[in-house]
Structure 1
């Protein structure tokens, strides 16, 4: 398809064209979360079925998106944005807490957000995999943002004398894989633990990275 159809302009039913467009987009993404994140899944969903689930027409679909892959891409970003907003708020609220309590608050916020709806986990860790080089690049870019966040928190802890001073990028890259894998497996019922126990394990792993054997706080910090 050469491009999206042109959406109508002007005010209708008390809403501007921009407001109507935002509402249509939200309805398509809400329907995609239900269908991609549960049944039938992204690969078995059609434009017609998604449009019907959203209560909209296929013409309206093509006014907002070019392909179903565009919908999945937008939904993947949205799910990550929700989790990022929760983490940044928790980090700000816990800024003055000791390292252990701050790390626990941040991980509780992340885990609570992504596991609040199992469909979010499926979008992030299952449906996005292997779709196209474009979406693989997007997935890796969003994962890099999480790595950057962990590195920034680790470096800040080191500057406060709460953690070892080192380059944390390699460790953060490995650790984010543990976070994602453990939360996915827990959500799928493959881990016999409570969510609190999962978070406690992640915090222990992170502290092991930040405070390796032999490290001790700098008394001058």
Structure 2
């Protein structure tokens, strides 16, 4: 699938571009898959949630048959797995889109811009937030591995940004892995609690709170500071 920037922000899942009339078998298949993914996004992310959804519900929402579903996916879990990767990719693209624009900024400004881009990609569509931080939890060992793999990638990315800043002499060098793991864990925990309604706050309040945590760690004085 190809996801344009506008489609990602709007939460639409789009197939490869092609003619509507006289479409090839590949184009028709891409359209069917898109309809199943959109149905899953609505049902898992909007309600009633993955655990309360059946394949027949997805088929009804997509306007397609169960036979067509099984031509695309083995199980309902396969659909959730693909959607989890999709919503992560949307957030990742949001970050990578601004990365070239912020490389020249000081660490505080750079991390602020990057995290706000991540938050926009992860929360602009509430269905994405629900799938990424709630519906994926505790489904199966397979999806736990997928979830932790994506978490590890975000930890690596944050470490790379902090190591780069340290290499430029902008912040004191150290092992940033604990800081990165703690911050990514805080994102996952707070976003989960906010998405399920355990934390009464606006999206901006959630984003600001997490950003303060990250910037606070960046501004910790060097333990071997002067004086």
Q: Under TM normalisation by the shorter chain, which class is it?
A: 0.7 to 0.9
Establish whether residue 156 from structure 1 lines up as the match of residue 158 from structure 2.
Answer: no
Establish whether residue 91 from structure 1 lines up as the match of residue 74 from structure 2.
Answer: no
Of the candidates 121, 127, 136, which is equivalent to residue 119 of structure 1? 127
Pairwise CA RMSD of aligned residues?
A: 2.3
Deviations 1:172-198 (A, max 9, x none): 111101122233334445445544443
Distance 1:215 1:18 in 2: 59
Deviations 1:75-114 (A, max 9, x none): 0000000000001112222121221111111111111122
Establish whether residue 24 from structure 1 lines up as the match of residue 50 from structure 2.
Answer: no
Establish whether residue 143 from structure 1 lines up as the match of residue 131 from structure 2.
Answer: no
Establish whether residue 105 from structure 1 lines up as the match of residue 113 from structure 2.
Answer: yes
Question: How far is 1:39 from its partner?
Answer: 1.8
- Between stretches 191-200 and 16-25, larger displacement belongs to 191-200
- Between stretches 90-99 and 144-153, larger displacement belongs to 90-99
Question: How far is 1:52 from its partner?
Answer: 1.0
Establish whether residue 35 from structure 1 lines up as the match of residue 43 from structure 2.
Answer: yes
Distance 2:61 2:197 in 1: 28
Distance 1:180 1:110 in 2: 13
- Scaled by the length of structure 1, what TM-score is found? 0.85
Distance 1:89 1:17 in 2: 33
Tell me if structure 1 keeps the 8 A contact 2:37–2:83.
Answer: yes
The 5 A counterparts of 1:1-221 are 13-191=21-199, 193-214=201-222
How many residues in Structure 1 have an aligned counterpart in Structure 2?
208
Tell me if structure 1 keeps the 8 A contact 2:133–2:192.
Answer: yes
Question: How far is 1:18 from its partner?
Answer: 1.5
Distance 1:217 1:20 in 2: 63
Based on CA coordinates, which of the two structures has the bigger radius of gyration?
Answer: 1
Distance 1:93 1:188 in 2: 34
Structure 1 unpaired stretches of 5+? 1-10
Distance 1:120 1:74 in 2: 12
